[in-house]
Amino acid sequence: MSHPIILASASPRRQELLKQICISCEVMPSQIDEHVHEDEHPLNYVRRIAAEKAMAITPQAPGRLVLGADTAVVRDSQIFGKPADHDDFIDMFSQLSGQSHQVISAVCLMRGQDGSIMVSVSDVEFREIGEQEMQDYWASGEPRDKAGGYGIQGLGAMFIKKISGSYSGIMGLPLFETAELLREAGVPLLSGKSA
């Protein structure tokens, strides 16, 4: 078996982050309903979605390790997902501008019916962002497929005044938690054999 795990996500950022810790993966994106349930706490939401992504793939991969992950940008208990359109992005960024928010990332590793979940919570502080900057950032195309409408690893970094927590978690896959789950599952780390 050439790949030790299956990544239940099409995110190129998650693939890059796994490669960073010498883990190769087979990509099998899961198709699940990612709507937030009524009165669902953001922490419970990301845990549920990460688990559902992994569980959606496990029947197709008996005996294989499946990794599901989810990331949400949260301010005052409001979850900011991927912007639906330009107006949604401007509304979202107007609320994040000059404020602090949290980025919650959950990672779930499953084999069959057995699974473990870990969560990373990071604090991010944005500087004040002008309206023209928001328009220009939207025009760059970067915000469209990212929770909260920004990528810390791209142009979005220029808006970030301060972070406290996991840089990789803000990108979408907390590597400390991911490595812990893989280690507990017996996946060799730092051996170079997985790359």
Total Cβ atoms within 10 A of residue 157: 11
From residue 15, alpha-carbon distances to 51, 69, 89, 92 in Å are 18, 11, 25, 27
Closest CA to 179 of 171, 188, 170: 188
Q: Is 91 assigned a catalytic role?
A: no
Q: Of 39, 70, 85, 114, which one is the catalytic site residue?
A: 70
Give DSSP secondary structure letters for 43-112.
HHHHHHHHHHHHHHHGGGSTT-EEEEEEEEEEETTEEE-S-SSHHHHHHHHHHHTTSEEEEEEEEEEEET
The set of residues, in sequence order, having a beta carbon less than 8 Å from that of 56 and lying 6+ positions away, is 8, 30, 31, 32, 68
Q: What distance separates the 2 farthest-apart alpha carbons in the chain? A: 51
Task: Give the CA dihedral 139, 12, 46, 81, nearest 10 degrees.
Answer: 10
35: tokens are 């709507």
Q: Which residues are catalytic?
A: 70
